[in-house]
Structure 1
Amino acid sequence: MIKTENEIRKLIKSDKWMMDILKAVRSMNLPDCWVCAGFVRSKIWDVLHERNERSSIPDVDVIYFDPTNLDELNEKKHEEKLRMILPDVPWSVKNEARMHIRNNMLPYSSSVDAIAKFPETATALGVKLDINDKLILTAPHGIMDLINLEVKPTPFFTENIDQAAIYENRIKKKNWKSIWNRIKIHHIQP
């Protein structure tokens, strides 16, 4: 059973595939850079569902924060560089300094601020390696929902009625319960 952030860090450190990804991302030297969302969540849910094999994930989300260069083309260049390092990884790189525009929100102040505004608390997570191979975990809403297999909207999505439909549509589209049958989905009440 996973109960602490330290146990999550140990679990990730013991996973060679995850560590190879984190090392590749660190080598890019992107500002305020994190590997986030399903990369972390899926690993934890797989372990809590006692799976021996990794569930497939559609992409590995890499985010960074660079307000000095908002050109989306740079994100594609970073993806290509990462594919050169690890070609079998489905990379998705986004500069959170511009993503507020796409998400119709106020500007984010950092990558962690963007993570805090992800739709689900169990997905609002990020990890990175520092230069000394220390694994850093950010979980702006804590880890309790994640380790208790609960899918709940982040405060941003419960406080903004326009965002409720996005959360509900995402839950339906992702269909996580078909992969991890023990999770409990919390819906936003109108």
Structure 2
Amino acid sequence: MHSHDRYHQELASLLLPHPWFRPLLETVRALALPDWFIGAGVIRTLVWDHLHSYAAPTPLADVDVVFFDPADLRPARDAEVQAMLVARRPDVPWEATNQAAVHLWYESAFGFAVPPLASSADGVGTWPETATSVGVRLLPDDTLEIAAPCGLEDLFQLTLRRNPRRISEAQFRERVRAKRIRERWPRVQVIDG
């Protein structure tokens, strides 16, 4: 079995029965958003907590939900989706982003323009670290679809590495410091640059 297949199976076996995460997948699936995924830090945190054998989960700043709706690029669309999620699960710190609209606001938020994305998986592939460039969605048959444009190796090998597609080395170093990666997960190897 290739590591790609093994890691996909391992991720599915961790997330599908997870008592806290599985209901989140069901909540987002119920909204029937186009091309949706839950991803980024929530996936990394669940996997790295598991690999560190932590009994208590690391607190989450947010749960990122992405979708791809080129038919509705209004800035209010993200807030509407987020409000629908909060109405269903007010206990979850949801953050929703229409990946079809990212290129319209990214420069004003981060100082440089980005090209339009082709899909939610394309957006997942731009996330800051390879280990967080992972999105999952629950399909109608209750199987897990995984978008991991940078692979799952870094996630499961406890490696934090910059995704060069979107952030600079300086931004990466600041994220590592601000998120206290080494304090939270001491077995993680940070690859600078």
TM-score (norm 2): 0.89
Q: 1:8 to 1:37 in 2, by over 3 A?
A: same
Q: Which amino acid aligns with 2:51?
A: L
CA deviation map 1:60-92 (0-9, x unaligned):
000001112111212111111111111100000
Q: Which amino acid aligns with 1:175?
A: R
Classify the secondary structure of the residue corresponding to 1:136: strand
Query: Is residue 12 of structure 2 the alignment partner of residue 9 of structure 1?
Result: yes
Q: Which amino acid aligns with 2:187?
A: R
Quote the residue 2:180 is aligned against.
175
Distance 2:46 2:117 in 1: 27
Quote the residue 2:29 is aligned against.
26
- What 5-or-longer segments of structure 1 have no aligned partner? none
Aligned pair partner of 1:118 in 121, 127, 137: 127
Classify the secondary structure of the residue corresponding to 2:165: helix
Distance 2:129 2:7 in 1: 19
Quote the residue 1:149 is aligned against.
158
Quote the residue 1:59 is aligned against.
62
- How many Å apart are 1:172 and its aligned residue? 2.2
Quote the residue 2:3 is aligned against.
none
Distance 2:20 2:136 in 1: 14
- How many Å apart are 1:184 and its aligned residue? 1.2
- How many Å apart are 1:168 and its aligned residue? 2.6
Q: Out of 144-153 and 167-176, give the one that drifted further.
A: 167-176
CA deviation map 1:92-150 (0-9, x unaligned):
00001111341521111111111111110000000001111111111111111111111
Quote the residue 1:90 is aligned against.
93
Query: Is residue 170 of structure 2 the alignment partner of residue 165 of structure 1?
Result: yes
Distance 1:4 1:170 in 2: 25
Classify the secondary structure of the residue corresponding to 1:35: strand
Quote the residue 1:68 is aligned against.
71
Identity %: 32
Quote the residue 1:184 is aligned against.
189
| CA-based RMSD | 1.4
Quote the residue 2:117 is aligned against.
108
Distance 1:51 1:10 in 2: 17
